[in-house]
Amino acid sequence: MKYWFWSLNKIIFSIVLFLQFISIVIILKLSYTIGQRFSTENDLIYFAKHLFICIIGWILLYYTSRQNSNRLIVMFEYMFYIVLFVTFGTAIFGTKINGVRRWISLKVFSLQSSEFLKLFLPFILSKYLSENKHKLVVFHVGISCAACLLQPDLGMTILISITAASQILFHNQKIKQYILFAISILSVGILTLIVSAKYAHNRFRIFFGKETGFQINQSLKALSSSYFIGENINVYIPDSHCDFIFSAICNGLGSIFGYIIILCPIILSVIMIQFLFFITYNTETNKYYNKINFEPLYDYRITLIVISLLFQFSFQSYFHILSNLALVPTKGVTLPLVSYGGSSILANMILFGYLLSLTKRELHIKQL
């Protein structure tokens, strides 16, 4: 265990530890509110579920970070197709909540397979991009979006589309015709969903000022009344445990924690881009990193995957924060590693497990 810990990138590990600590503290603080909303006799039952999911997440992070990063890429490629099949099945046979089918009901929590679809997609796209099989790239992006639209899940469709677009644009600008085709098909699907789905239509009307949203008003009230550190007047925020947890953190713990959360994606991006720079241009540094075959094609795949995962984590984090500030429409996008919800936490712990596996240093192990 100590060999594992000392081989890890401490900054990346600290980001995970901080976000998970904030998550546990704020969910404990909000447990009474959550219990009142779902009319449960024991207010701590949801905190206990959240804590259980966090423990499972740390086990997944530990397991993933110990694996060979090249082996993980191959395993995640197979996992993508399994999750894609499950996501289509969820749209048909999944548990229906508020008119949508996004979850598979388990005893402890509900599993949202699209969270893992979003995670594994960059691994399969990197394979076809590195082989210049552009039509297969567009096919996989399109079928992933279709699986989410069937549920329907507009927020996840946007996240998958943006994540894929970042990887595609980084790879090559010569496939614009395929990108335009994919965007056109996706736009038709999104517009159809906005018009047909009442929940999405209402949220867009609120954002563009056609209606007044109670959630947004309470979120802004909580943010505006936050102290720099410490709890201010407790402001009731609907869905404060998931969609508006950033506002709840600023109001309940202090805005300083909100500022640190904003900095986390930036710090992570700097660390990972520095890592990519060193393994690409500094052969002397390469020998300190294990688990990687430094072959040009495979090395390029790693670059594509890391860029996409960084964009995925950063975009989702800032979209959540901006929606709490009423600067973008609220689409039920969670704050990674912080919001209440089993699937989101587990998927992001696997994501960070892969990054820790990738940046693990062999030098530390030899010196112990």
Length of the chain: 368
Tracing tokens 């789905």 back to the chain, one arrives at 197
- 288 DSSP 8-state letter: T
**What pLDDT shows up at residue 1?**
64
At 321, the amino acid letter reads I
Run of H or E including 88: helix 69-93
CA dist., res. 156 & res. 141, Å (int): 12
Sign of the torsion formed by the C-alpha atoms of 71, 76, 77 and 81: positive
353: helix, strand or coil: helix
Per the rule left: phi > 0, alpha: psi between -120 and 50, beta: everything else, 67 is beta
Query: pTM to 2 decimals?
Result: 0.84
Domain ranges of the chain: 2-367
Residue with more model confidence, 67 or 181: 67
Burial-class residue 97 by CB neighbours within 10 Å (0-12, 13-18, 19+).
Answer: exposed
Give the pLDDT confidence of 108-124 residue by residue, as tens digits: 677 888 889 999 999 99
Contact of 77 with 124, CB cutoff 8 Å: yes
User: Any idea which of 99-108, 151-160, 353-362 has the lowest mean pLDDT?
Assistant: 99-108
Collect all residues with Cβ–Cβ distance below 8 Å to 32 and sequence separation of at least 6.
43
**What values do phi and psi take at 164, rounded to 5?**
-65, -40
Burial-class residue 37 by CB neighbours within 10 Å (0-12, 13-18, 19+).
Answer: middle
**What pLDDT shows up at residue 161?**
83
349 falls in which pLDDT band (50, 70, 90)?
Answer: very high
Residue with more model confidence, 17 or 108: 17
Q: At what angle do helices 69-93 and 296-324 cross, to 10 degrees?
A: 50
Average pLDDT over residues 14-39: 83
CA distance to 7, 132, 136, 246, 314, per residue, from 335 (Å): 28, 34, 31, 7, 10
Average pLDDT over residues 220-226: 78
